Chains A and B, each alone.
Chain A
Amino acid sequence: MSESFETPSEPVAISMIAGRYLLFDINVVTYLRRTHHICGVLIGSIPQIPQQNLFLGLPLELMPEEAKFLVEKEAAYIVDDHAWHKQRFSTLEGSDKRKYLDSLRSKGLEAKRIAEGASRKRSEHALAKQAAQRRRMDAQPEGQITSGDITEDAASESLFEDARPTSPTTSAASSKPDIPYGVTPTTSYSPSSLPENTTLQPTPLVPSSYPLFEHLHSRNYFIMPGLRFGCDYNVYPGDPLRFHSHFSATSYGWEEEFSMIDIIGGGRLGTRVKKSFLIGGEDPDGKTDEAPAVRTFCIEWGGM
């Protein structure tokens, strides 16, 4: 599909819902990952099978740090979805309303077109298979067919494949081509109706580890949440889909005390999983105008 390569125009909207920063558009998700090295975490599961949580889909949840970074870079702005819905939905009428409904309708038609294309391809494939099967059967003398798996398989396959083209939904849809699929929108407004004034939105509140996040991100590292390794961030030298992470990073205040067991535990776990345990924080004395000075140390097991 051509849409998957669409580049959204900056700033993009980040929906804030119940204190979470969410993205609902796959184009925005891939764009931010490509150009800003912002990965986020996919959190959407299938409503009827929520226990299937190995492969999650949209929406994408951003860490507050990621949201703040994008806002400060003016690559994105925050939309309070709840407030914006309340404000917009009651006043949505006339041409705006029609435009929004039209956009839903065109999405539904598009979904239908794709689904029908897929089902047509499927039935063509099945018919071709069936024809091939028949030819083979004709070629074989009657008595030689052993009651083997092949016939069994073919029979069950054709049974299922045959059911598709005659199923009521497809035949009904093809007889009435104008009825679009029902689309459940992820937002209650069309993207064009988003607030014009983007500077008024407050920047997200972030944990005290933000300077370390910014420091690592500015050095072209990709950063993911560190829960799995008991740290603040997992730090990757490139896209996490391609690279093993180099560091498990934990941020401390400049004068914040930590015990040796934290260093040893982090260092040992990091080394075990082919990472280095990185500790760092903002040095209040080394501050410059453009960036806070962040000091980092990497810890690995000494092997002795």
Chain B
Amino acid sequence: MLNKPQDFKHPAHLHTLASTILHNLQYQHDWSSLSIHTHSTLNSLPLPRPVISGLPPKRAYVHPDEQIELVKAEHATRNTSVQLPEREWVLPSHWEEKWTLSKFSAVFNALENVPPASGDEQKETDSAVGWQWRGKNRHKRLLLATLHDDSTVIYYIMHDGIVKPRQN
């Protein structure tokens, strides 16, 4: 019997799943400073399953309102702003799995808004355009990575709560 939450071990297949997704992120999508979290950074309790955090090569998600602010600012200053990527959570899952709302909410409840910094990302000033939608102010989200048997991995952005869609 395991007493301490630190000693908890997830089943091996979940670790395999996480490392396969990590491999895909690293070599197919050029993500950097990837790490696998087994315990919540909020309360050190074990996560429902290992979750990945990493830094994409470019912003993985821009809120539609933030995009409007950015376009306005670009128009006003006449120079294109550089969008620094933000760290993202990635939830590994398998094609054959069944999910429930309770499982998703357990994952979201155990995650912080923003994954812990690794030191690799560039710091931006607090007053940068669109700060209301970034960092600690952002809506809690993750990338839902789904692995298929043929090794395809697909990524969907999942928000906690009601977030209006992007105008893509």
Contacts and interface: CB of A to CB of B under 8 A. Distances in A.
A231 interface: no
Interface residues of A, number: 38
B154 interface: yes
Interface stretch (B14-22, B47-55, B92-100): B92-100
Residue from A247, A280, A304 having most chain B Cβ neighbours under 10 A: A304
B162 A278 contact: yes
Interface in A268-304: 270-271, 274-276, 278-281, 283, 295-304
A252 interface: yes
A285 B118 CA distance: 35
B146 interface: yes
B104 A297 contact: yes
Given A257-B100, A259-B98, A281-B101, A264 B165 contact: no
A256 interface: yes
B68 interface: no
Given A298-B163, A299-B144, A264 B102 contact: no
Nearest to A235: B162
Contacts of B160: 297
A267 to B, nearest CB: 5
Contact of B157 (A219, A280, A281, A299): A299
Interface in B64-113: 93-102, 104-105, 108
A240 interface: no
Interface string A197-234: 00000000000000000001001000000000000000
A152 interface: no
Given A263-B99, A298-B158, A274 B164 contact: no
A301 B97 CA distance: 19
A84 interface: no
B165 A246 contact: yes
A264 B156 contact: yes
A138 interface: no
A255 interface: yes
A258 interface: yes
Interface of A: 216, 219, 237, 246-247, 252-261, 263-264, 267, 270-271, 274-276, 278-281, 283, 295-304
Interface of B: 29, 60, 93-102, 104-105, 108, 143-144, 146, 154-168
Top 5 A-B pairs ranked by shortest CB distance? Answer: A302-B155, A276-B165, A257-B98, A298-B159, A300-B157
